[in-house]
Structure 1
Amino acid sequence: MEEETSFVEFSPLNTLSPHTSYEKEMENPDSRSISEIESEQQASTEEVVSLAKNSEFDREIFTEFAVLLDKFTPVLVAIKDNEKLMERPPVKKGVESIEKELTRANKLIEGACSRSPIKQIEVVTQELGRSLGLVLFASIDASTEVKQDIAALHRELMNVKFDISFTPSPSPSLGSSPCVIHGQSGFVSEQGSFINEIEEEKISLSIDDVVLQLKYGNDEEFRLALLVIDKEWIHEEDIIPILFNRLGSSKPHNRLTIIQILRILALDNDENKEKMTDGVCLSGLVKSLARDADEGREAIGLLSELSDISAVRRRIGRIQGCIVMLVTMLNGDDPTASHDAAKLLIALSSNTQNVLHMAEAGYVKPLVRCLKEGSDMSKILMATAVSRMELTDQCRASLGEDGAVEPLVKMFKSGKLEAKLSALNALQNLSYLTENIKRLISSGIVSPLLQLLFSVTSVLMTLREPASAILARIAQSENILVKQDVAQQMLSLLNLSSPAIQFNLLQALNSIASHSSASKVRRKMKENCAVQLLLPFLTESNIKIRSAALNLLYTLSKDSPEEFMEQLGESYLINIVNIISSSASEGEKAAAIGIVSNLPVSNKKSTEVLKKLHFLPILISLMSSGASTSTKTWLEESIAGVLIRFTIPSDKKLQLLSAELGVIPILLKLLASESSVAKCRAAISLTQLSQNSVALRKSRKSRWTCMPPSSDTFCQVHDGYCVVKSTFCLVKAGAVPPLIQILEGEEREADEAVLNALATLLQDEIWESGSLYMAKTSAVQAIIRVLESGTVKAQEKALWILERIFSIEEHRSQHGESAQAVLIDLAQNGHPRLKSTVAKVLARLQLLQEQSTKTLTKTLTFSLYLKMLRRNIRLRREYLYRKSLEGKERLLYEKKRKIKEALAEGKPIPTELRNEEAALRQEIDLDDENTAIPRSHIDDEYAKATERDPKILLTTSRDPSAPLTQFVKVISEIIESCRAHDYTDVILVHEHRGVPDGLVICHLPFGPTAYFELLNVVTRHDIKDKKAIGTMPEAHPHLILNNFKSKLGERTGNILKHLFPVLKPDTKRIITFANQSDYISFRHHIYEKHGGPKSVELKEIGPRFEMRLYQIKLGTVDQTEAQNEWVLRPYMNTTKKRKFIGD
Structure 2
Amino acid sequence: MAKELIIHASPIPASELLFLTVVAIADTVKAANGVVIQKENFKKFSTYLEKIPSMLKALSKEDLHFSESWKNAVDGLNREVKVAKQLVSDCSSKNKIYLLINSRKIVKRLELCTKDISRAISLIPLASLDVSSGLSKQISDLCQKMLDAEYQATETDEEILGKIELAIRDGNADRSYANQLLACIADAIGIFTEHAALKREFIELKSEIENAKSRKDMAEALYLEQVIALLEKADSITSAQEKEKKYIEKRNSLGRQPLEPLQSFYCPISLEIMVDPVETSSGKTFERSAIEKWLGEGKSHCPLTMLPLDTSILRPNKTLRQSIQEWKDRNTIITLSSIKSQLQTNEEREMIQSLVKLQDLCMERELHREWMKMENYFAVLIELLGGKNREIRKRVLLILSLLAKDNEGNQEDIAQADNALESIVHLLARQIEESKLALELLLELSRSHAVRDLIGNVQGSILLLVTMSRNDDTEVTRNAHELLENLSFLDKNVVEMAKANYLKPLLRNLCSGSEDMKITMTEILSEITLTDQNKLSIMKDGALGPLLQLLLNDDMEIKKVAVKALQQLSSLPENGLQMIKEGVAGPLFELLYRHSLQSPALGEEVAVTILHLAISTTHQKADEGQISLIDSEEDIFKFFSLISFAEPEIQIKILRAFQAMCQSPSGFTIRTRLRQISAARVLVNLLELDNQPVRANAVKLLYCLTEDGDSSNFSSHVTEKCIKVLLTFIHMSDDPEETVAAMGTISRLPQDQQITQWLLDSGALQTVLACLTDRHKHASHKRYVTENSAQALCRFTVSTNLECQKRVAQEGIIPVLVQLLISGTPLAKQSAAISLKQLSESSYILSRQIKNQGLFKCCFAGREIGCPAHLGTCTVESSFCIVEAKALEPLVRMLAEPDAGTCEASLDALLTLLNSERPQSGSKVLANANAIAPMIKLLGIPAARLQEKTLMALERIFQVDEIKAKYKSMATMPLVEITQSKDSRFRSLSAKVLGQLGVLDKQSSYF
Structure with the higher fraction of residues in helix conformation: 2
TM-score (norm 2): 0.45
Structure label with greater radius of gyration: 1
Structure with the higher fraction of residues in strand conformation: 1
